[in-house]
Amino acid sequence: MRANALKVRKYGEEHKIDRLTKSKWKGTEDDAWAMAALAVKLCEEQGAYRGPAGATYVFITFGEVKLSKK
């Protein structure tokens, strides 16, 4: 995850996008989905997931999904 976060930050620095370079900022859930989508694109991932973490949500990206039988 750290490598992907650094890619997104570097993109923000190169394109002067403050939200990609700051550690914290206020935004909507739509903003969070937009950031996740950008991270998926920049990091060549397969998708993003929103999951609960107490009173908040975390957004993560993921690569190839493999299913297997038990």
Cα dist. 22→13, 26, 38, 70 in Å?
10, 11, 16, 43
Token pair belonging to 36 = 């996740």
Give the pTM.
0.84
- Cβ proximity of 39 and 45 under 8 Å: yes
Which are the contacts of 26, defined by CB distance < 8 A and separation ≥ 6?
Answer: none
Question: Residue ranges of the domains in the chain?
Answer: 2-62
Q: pLDDT, tens digit, for every residue of 23-68?
A: 889 999 999 999 999 999 999 999 999 999 999 999 999 999 999 9
